[in-house]
Amino acid sequence: MPEYCRTERDGRVFTVTIDRPEVLNSLHPPANVELGEVFDEFCADDALWVAIITGAGDRAFSAGNDLKYQAAGGGNLGVAPMGFGGLTARSDNFKPVIAAVNGVAMGGGFEIALACDLIIASENAVFALPEPRVGLAALAGGMQRLPQQIPLKHAMGMLLTGRRVSAREGYQLGFVNEVVAPEDLLPAARRWADEIVACAPLSVRATKQCAMASLDGGSVAENMSRPYDQVRAMLKSEDFIEGPRAFAEKRAPEWKGR
Q: What residues act catalytically?
A: 111, 131
d(Cα 216, Cα 214) in Å, to the nearest integer? Answer: 5
Closest CA to 42 of 2, 81, 3, 97: 97
5-10 and 13-18 beta bridge pairing: antiparallel
Closest CA to 13 of 197, 178, 170: 197
Q: Write out the chain in H/E/C secondary structure.
A: CCCCEEEEEECCEEEEEECCHHHCCCECHHHHHHHHHHHHHHHHCCCCCEEEEEECCCCEEECCECHHHHHHCCCCCCCCCCCHHHCCCCCCCCCCEEEEECCEEECHHHHHHHHCCEEEEECCCEEECCHHHHCCCCCCCHHHHHHHHCCHHHHHHHHHHCCCEEHHHHHHHCCCCEEECHHHHHHHHHHHHHHHHCCCHHHHHHHHHHHHHHCCCCCHHHHHHCCCHHHHHHHCCCHHHHHHHHHHCCCCCCCCCC
